[in-house]
Chains A and B, each alone.
Chain A
Amino acid sequence: MSQSSDQGAAAVAAVENVAARIESERERLTDLDSAIGDADHGGNMARGWQAAAEAVADLDDPAVETVVKTAGKTLLSEVGGASGPLYGGSLVFASAELQEGLTAESAVAFAETYVEKVQDRGDASVGDKTMVDALVPAVHTFKKSVETDDLPPLEALAKAVAAAERGVEFTVPIRAAKGRASYLGWRSVGHQDPGATSTLYIMEELLATAADHLDREVPSADASSPTIPDAEAAEE
């Protein structure tokens, strides 16, 4: 198998693993969304990722870019609402960074474009109690681990997931400033953000799939490096 089709197959496996994980967490996501939203996140995401998994399974020996773009387009049309553009649209735009295949560098570029699109589209910053609270520290940690600390991609991804996990915990005590939950104001305090949570699940499955693909165990990682960029934290 060529390197590109090998990567494409791993990307298909990643989408399938995410779909299975979201399905198994469906009730959990719906419960979180019932508390501060409109109780449709679990159902919409499960339906969308299931359709995405079916769509990428139909591709014939695809490049990784094609898999990501197809998954994104499917989410865009199947998830709908605001989540379609946020999860799906961002994947479609970020997939362009993977044209030359998946490397540590292209993965960083992909992650940066993804988070940039999410922030643009949702007009959200760190601290607004959204998926951005999981994404920004994760992408920052991933980039720093690859570019500054010279960690191998799998270790860098493990650190990024740990950072996302802390970001999700950070959404519990804060007040929502964006999205449906912002309507609740202070009543949103004490509830974990469903979008940040599903984003963490997606990242955990990417990590598990990458480890499996490389025939390795998932590396243990604590998010010992600072997970929230100082500039962003100061903004809040």
Chain B
Amino acid sequence: MKKLINDAETVVDEMLDGMVAAYPDSVRRLPDTQVLVRDDAPVDDKVAVVSGGGSGHEPTHAGYLGEGMLDGAAAGEVFTSPTADELEAMIDACDSGAGVLLVIKNYEGDVMNFETAGEMVEMEGTEVAEVVVNDDVAVEDSLYTSGRRGVCGTILVHKAAGAKAAEGASLDEVQRVAQKVVDNVGTMGMALTSCVTPEKGEPTFDLGEDEIELGIGIHGEPGVERTETMSADEVTDELTETVLDDLELDGGQEVVTIVNGMGGTPQMELFVVNRRLQELLGERDIETWDAWVGDYMTSLDMAGCSITVCAVDEELKELLGAPAETPALTVR
């Protein structure tokens, strides 16, 4: 398969340099690492919110670096956790003394490396707390996880925790709102085509010309069901109903929704999905407070989408609506 790369070995390194070159006033790269941080990190007296994970999900994570969201983002190799020493360097660079919240997507490698790094910096006296995002309602256990996978709901965790930290809240408070998002968010994805990793150069899984995969993970790991191609409305109904059944929302509940592109999906199709999503919520007497549509948590060049629904109260509305200034998301 054709790829616009130079070398699979150097693709992450070159991507990071390119990002810094695109946003030289807002992000910088820690020397000899694959960690990007806010240019002004550590921010005095502010709790730092940091995240990271395998590359290939851009704009996650470094795209959310900046005021009102993340202070640090560690990039692993494609679909591979960053190593604990890099995470340690990120935490050290972002800690102002007010503590650091680690936002971890629930994959075994990520959890183990973040927790190892957390324990190491704690031995040096840094205060850390963690939140593990596991919003994927499709599968309980998977190839890379025990328990549910962490997917697009992570962006809302970054947003809420980042906004709370920007208010000057304590580490406990920042962790509390992050966990509140985790407790109220659900996501399910689907794929029309497989992603192609730079290293392998061919599709991770085979999907027939007239097949789609429901419940797909963001690394191309298996979902729950492979079916014949369905219309956008049918796909939207399937994904949304699974998410809503899991969240068990009451009528009148306000929500934030995300229709997320997997990397190779035209915006046109995402908006078509969003149209049906909002109709369906209306039929269920669920009120959309805010609807996001775009590529937030991708899987390289996979065609497909995920639907995220997060129940919000006054506190979460305030935090998700608070100003943020990052390369991939601006809220004013």
- Seen from chain A, the residues whose Cβ lies within 8 Å of a Cβ on chain B are 73, 76-78, 80-82, 84-86, 88-89, 92-93, 121-123, 178-180, 182-183
Contacts and interface: CB of A to CB of B under 8 A. Distances in A.
B143 A183 contact: yes
Given A82-B109, A182-B146, A92 B83 contact: no
A88 B120 CA distance: 12
B1 to A, nearest CB: 21
A85 B116 contact: yes
B108 interface: yes
A81 B116 contact: no
A69 to B, nearest CB: 11
B26 interface: no
A121 B118 CA distance: 12
Nearest to A178: B146
Contacts of B144: 180
B85 interface: yes
A179 B144 CA distance: 8
B54 to A, nearest CB: 10
A84 B108 contact: no
Nearest to B142: A183
Interface string B75-96: 0110011011110000000000
Contact of B112 (A82, A92, A180): A82
Contacts of A76: 83-85, 116
A138 to B, nearest CB: 22
A73 B108 contact: no
Task: Report the 9 A-B pairs with minimum CB-CB distance, sorted nearest first.
Answer: A89-B116, A85-B112, A85-B116, A77-B85, A81-B109, A82-B109, A77-B83, A76-B84, A82-B108
A85 B143 CA distance: 19
Nearest to A184: B143
Query: What is the size category of the interface that chain B forms with chain A?
Result: 20 to 34
Q: Which of B112, B115, B119, B144 has most chain A Cβ within 10 Å?
A: B112
Given A77-B85, A81-B109, A88-B84, 17 more contacts: A77-B83, A77-B84, A77-B86, A81-B81, A82-B81, A84-B113, A85-B84, A85-B113, A93-B119, A121-B116, A123-B146, A178-B146, A180-B144, A182-B141, A183-B141, A183-B142, A183-B143
Given A85-B116, A121-B115, A179 B108 contact: yes
A128 B141 CA distance: 15
Given A89-B116, A92-B120, A81 B80 contact: yes
Interface in B239-275: none
Nearest to B143: A183
B112 A122 contact: yes
A80 B115 CA distance: 14
Contacts of B112: 82, 84-86, 89, 121-122
A178 B109 CA distance: 13
Contacts of B115: 85, 121
Nearest to A74: B85
Contacts of B84: 76-77, 84-85, 88-89
Contacts of A82: 81, 108-109, 112
B71 to A, nearest CB: 22
B90 to A, nearest CB: 13
28 contacts: A73-B85, A76-B83, A76-B116, A77-B83, A77-B86, A80-B77, A80-B81, A80-B83, A80-B113, A81-B80, A81-B109, A82-B108, A82-B112, A84-B112, A84-B116, A85-B112, A85-B113, A86-B112, A88-B84, A89-B84, A121-B116, A123-B146, A178-B146, A179-B108, A180-B108, A182-B146, A183-B141, A183-B143
A182 B144 CA distance: 10
Interface string B165-190: 00000000000000000000000000
Contacts of B113: 80, 84-85
A84 B85 CA distance: 10
Nearest to B113: A85
A51 B318 CA distance: 49
B136 to A, nearest CB: 15
Contacts of A77: 83-86
Contacts of A80: 76-77, 80-81, 83, 109, 113
Contacts of A182: 141, 146
A94 to B, nearest CB: 12
A84 B81 CA distance: 10
Contacts of B80: 80-81
A132 to B, nearest CB: 14
